[in-house]
Amino acid sequence: MRAQSALPDAIRRLAEAGVPDAPRDARRLLAHAMRLPPDRLTLHLADSLSAEHLNRFESAIAARARRQPVSQITGHRDFFGRSFRVTPDVLDPRPETEVLVLAALAQPFARVLDLGTGSGCILLTLLAERPDVTGLGTDLSDEALAVARSNCQRLRLEGRAELAAGNWYGAVTKRGFDLIVSNPPYIAANEMPMLSPEVRDWEPHMALTPGGDGLDAYRAIAAGALVHLARGGRLIAEIGTGQGADVAALWQDAGLTSVEILPDLDGRDRAVRGIAR
């Protein structure tokens, strides 16, 4: 069977399973099965599929039909121009989180703290973009930290990145950070049933929701910010839809100044920034 002949049935199966943009995902998974970069697939559609390729493609399509995210099936996700390892133990890095990274990179910093680092995509991107910077990433999940360590090794950042297990500031023994960043769990408990199956059923719930109104992580982050930030240091956190005003108020109540809500490219509130006095 030629590669292009395997696509129509795969697309049909994904569409029947309710997968958005089934043709795109089928092509990405075919490239994965053939061990090709996705942008090279078109050049190989006339190639014959080996038994190994067919088995890998069948397994991948079956997993996607169960609504497992493509990144978990392929084992990686591109973020800010780099490839990060992804497993069901971490959130899938999302393009909108790049707003936080761009805000962090807008001003100089020497030491960064990433609270709830997950795959490490934020911390490691900042270190890769700023070769003179060091940083610490914390996470409550040992499994997530294992993924972050593997990404750290892939990017050859072991000498500048430290990773530690703990809840928010619980693993932080140093102070005087120039920058604190976080993409914390922020989904309210009553919003969880409305999430897509890819998120609700496959991503770690502890990284998605703190329960309740979805703001508990921001309360914890705000409470320790001034203790751990250097004077003039910045706190930047990603937020969910409609949370801008509430998180900005938490930043202000904690004593941060110049608090600002930052939009994404679609104009939606995406992060909140504040500065330590």
Q: What is the CATH number of the domain that holds 192?
A: 3.40.50.150
Structural contact between residues 94 and 53, judged by C-beta atoms closer than 8 angstroms: no
Read off the pLDDT of residues 172-197 as tens digits, 9 standing for 90 and up: 998 999 999 999 999 999 999 999 99
Q: Does residue 122 sit in the same domain as residue 161? A: yes
Burial of 15 (0-12, 13-18, 19+ CB in 10 A): middle
Read off the pLDDT of residues 132-163 as tens digits, 9 standing for 90 and up: 999 999 999 999 999 999 999 999 999 999 99
User: Distance between CA atoms of 39 and 132, rounded to whole angstroms?
Assistant: 33
Asked if the structure places residue 71 within a domain, the reply is no
Percent helix / strand / coil, the chain, rounded to 5: 45, 20, 35
Evaluated on CA atoms 138, 143, 146, 150, the torsion sign reads negative
Structural contact between residues 106 and 125, judged by C-beta atoms closer than 8 angstroms: no
* Domain-ending residue, one of 66, 92, 110: 66
Instruction: Quote the mean pLDDT of the chain.
Output: 96
Instruction: Note down the domain range covering 269.
Output: 76-275
Q: Does residue 42 sit in the same domain as residue 99? A: no
pTM: 0.92
User: Distance between CA atoms of 250 and 268, rounded to whole angstroms?
Assistant: 19
The three-class DSSP label of residue 257 is strand
